[in-house]
């Protein structure tokens, strides 16, 4: 081996060792990084498992609750009715004919006896004159019958005198007696005919008076069904010409009460109602009558209750639809719980009648109550100290509670 080669070999050994050491250090770093990454991943997975694991839901978070209140509880029956005048009269025509004039219009105030409309009286005037003439003719016929009777009596008296002296025959006497009887009958017939003609005259005069259609009451015209010049036929059915409400200051509501609520509604109970025309206004009323006649509409049975209401501002009008609430019972100051609390029983608990559930010391406790009247949302309970105002009662499960108890 040449001397130059022998001297180069030893010089290359330190460089090779350095390379080897560098590669080993790099390899150890890579292993350390991989181990660190693996550790981090394991720790992250463990943390995720720890954080995402199912945890038991606290008892308080499983239920929805509401508070026990104190205040008034009103039991009300709801119904729908219509507003009417307390007295409404339909004014019709008693005769047929052409209307010569109509004296009133819608919403006019009228008084008893005021003329509302007039019929053309030309034909009626002729009938009255005809009936009066017939009365005079019957009177004349009666006078004539009386004259005939007087003459017959004179002839009979003279014939009787002659017969008594043997001058007149019995046959002539008998004929004169028959003539007298005939005149008596003629007087009776003429008298009856006179009475008949007088009655006909009264009918004609009455029909003439009916030519003026008058108001039977003091009130307001709420309906007018005719115009001047219209012909009215009253032969088979009396036509309604006007509808008059007696007084729109005092009105009433006729409400349809469901048969299930009829046992609670009595005369004298307070009520209130609203109408669509004034939705923000509540009107007070009093039940004055509960009618026994049932009304069946589509197999639904209802009974009519009459409510009196004062209308001094004349806001209410006949025919309005009223949403009525009749107060059948009321307690002014009492403890009350939501109706849902009386219906709710927590899972895994035995249902008990008239029991509400509360949380005490992180435990479910059933509290027995004595219920009273209900307004549909809250129920009165007896104030026996078991519950206090602002206590919380359970009314339902929360979504977390449904999940905890395995309910859907």
Q: What is the pLDDT of residues 292-307, one digit of tens each?
A: 999 998 899 999 999 9
Domain holding 158, by residue range, is 121-210
Pairing state between β 355-360 and 88-92? unpaired
Here the tokens at position 324 are: 């009525």
| Count: domains in the chain | 5
Examine the domain organization and report whether 223 and 104 are in the same domain: yes
Asked if residue 235 and residue 106 are part of one domain, the reply reads yes
Closest residue by Cα to residue 245 from 89, 111, 93: 89
What average pLDDT is seen over the chain?
86
Q: Are strands 115-119 and 97-102 parallel, antiparallel or unpaired?
A: antiparallel
Q: Radius of gyration over alpha carbons of the chain, in Å?
A: 54
- Residue where a domain stops, chosen among 300, 330, 360: 330
Hey, is 353 helix, strand or coil? coil
Instruction: State whether 271 and 297 are in the same domain.
Output: yes
CATH number at residue 260: 2.40.30.170
Say if residue 365's pLDDT is above 60: yes
Q: Where are the beta strands (DSSP E) in 14-142?
A: 63-67, 69-85, 88-92, 97-102, 109-110, 115-119
Calculate the dihedral angle through the C-alpha atoms of 52, 54, 59, 62, rounding to the nearest 10 degrees. 80
Tell me how far apart the alpha carbons of residues 374 and 295 are, in angstroms, rounded to a whole number.
28
Where does residue 56 rank: exposed (0-12), middle (13-18), buried (19+ CB within 10 A)? Answer: exposed
Residues forming beta bridges with residue 392, ordered by sequence position: 67
Among the residue ranges 26-30, 46-50, 335-339, 341-345, the one predicted with the least confidence is 46-50
Does residue 288 carry a pLDDT above 90?
yes
Instruction: State the pLDDT confidence band at 49, using cuts at 50, 70 and 90.
Output: low
Per-residue burial over 184-215, b = 16 or more CB atoms within 10 Å of its CB, e = otherwise: eebbeebeebbeebbebbeebeebbebbebbb
Q: Where are the beta strands (DSSP E) in 14-68?
A: 63-67
Clarify whether residues 108 and 223 are in a common domain: yes
- Interhelix angle 122-164/170-209, rounded to 10 degrees, is 160
Tell whether 268 and 131 lie within a shared domain.
no
Domain boundary among 281, 299, 330: 330
Q: How far is CA 176 from CA 121, 145, 214, in A?
A: 51, 16, 58
Q: Do 135 and 262 fall within a single domain?
A: no
Check whether residue 141 and residue 154 sit in a common domain.
Answer: yes
User: What span, in angstroms and rounded, lies between the C-alpha atoms of 115 and 108?
Assistant: 12
326 pLDDT band, cuts 50/70/90, is: very high
> What's the CATH code of the domain at 354?
2.40.420.20
pLDDT band at 237 (very low <50, low <70, confident <90, very high): confident
With left for phi above 0 and alpha for psi between -120 and 50, is residue 19 left, alpha or beta? Answer: alpha
Q: Say if residue 82 is in the same domain as residue 148.
A: no
Same domain, 139 and 205: yes
Tell if the pTM clears 0.95, that is, is over it.
Answer: no
* Same domain membership, residue 109 and residue 220: yes
Of 286, 311, 330, which closes a domain? 330
Confidence of residue 5 (pLDDT cuts 50, 70, 90): very low
Residues 93 and 238 in one domain: yes
The Cα–Cα gap between 85 and 311 comes to 10
pLDDT by residue (tens digit) across 175-190?
A: 777 888 888 888 889 8
3-state class (DSSP) for residue 224: strand
Residue 180 shares a structural domain with residue 297: no
Give the integer Cα–Cα distance in Å for 252 and 87: 9
């Amino acid at each position: 081996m040449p001397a130059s080669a022998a001297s180069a070999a030893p010089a290359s050994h330190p460089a090779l060792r350095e390379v080897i050491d560098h590669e080993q250090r790099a390899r150890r770093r890579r292993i350390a990084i991989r181990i660190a990454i693996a550790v981090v991943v394991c720790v992250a997975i463990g943390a995720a498992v720890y954080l995402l694991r199912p945890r038991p839901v606290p008892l308080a978070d499983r239920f929805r609750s509401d508070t026990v209140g104190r205040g008034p509880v009103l039991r009300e029956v709801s119904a729908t009715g219509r507003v009417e005048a307390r007295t409404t009269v339909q004014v019709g025509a008693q005769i047929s004919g052409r209307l010569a004039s109509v004296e009133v219009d819608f919403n006019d105030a009228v008084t008893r006896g005021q003329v509302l409309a007039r019929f053309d009286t030309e034909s009626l005037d002729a009938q009255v004159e005809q009936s009066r003439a017939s009365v005079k003719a019957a009177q004349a016929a009666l006078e004539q019958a009386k004259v005939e009777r007087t003459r017959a009596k004179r002839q009979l008296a003279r014939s009787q005198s002659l017969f008594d002296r043997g001058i007149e025959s019995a046959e002539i006497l008998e004929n004169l007696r028959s003539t007298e009887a005939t005149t008596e009958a003629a007087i009776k017939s003429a008298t009856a005919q006179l009475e008949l003609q007088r009655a006909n005259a009264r009918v004609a005069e009455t029909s003439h008076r009916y030519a003026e259609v008058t108001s039977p009451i003091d009130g307001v015209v709420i309906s007018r069904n005719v115009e001047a010049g219209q012909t009215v036929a009253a032969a088979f059915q009396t036509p309604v010409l006007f509808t008059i409400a007696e007084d729109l200051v005092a009105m009433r509501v006729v409400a349809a009460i469901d048969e299930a609520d009829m046992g609670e509604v009595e005369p004298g109970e307070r009520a209130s109602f609203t109408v669509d025309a004034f939705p923000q206004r509540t009107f007070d009323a009093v039940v004055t009558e509960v009618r026994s006649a049932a009304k069946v509409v589509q197999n639904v049975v209802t009974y009519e209750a009459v409510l009196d209401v004062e209308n001094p501002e004349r806001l209410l009008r006949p025919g309005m639809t009223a949403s009525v609430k009749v107060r059948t019972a009321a307690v002014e100051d009492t403890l009350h719980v939501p109706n849902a609390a009386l219906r709710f029983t927590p899972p895994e608990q035995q249902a008990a009648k008239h029991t509400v559930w509360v949380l005490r010391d992180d435990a479910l406790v059933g509290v027995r109550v004595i219920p009273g009247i209900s307004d549909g949302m809250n129920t009165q309970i007896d104030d026996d100290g078991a519950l206090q105002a602002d206590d919380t009662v359970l009314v339902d499960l929360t979504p977390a509670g449904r999940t905890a108890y395995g309910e859907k």
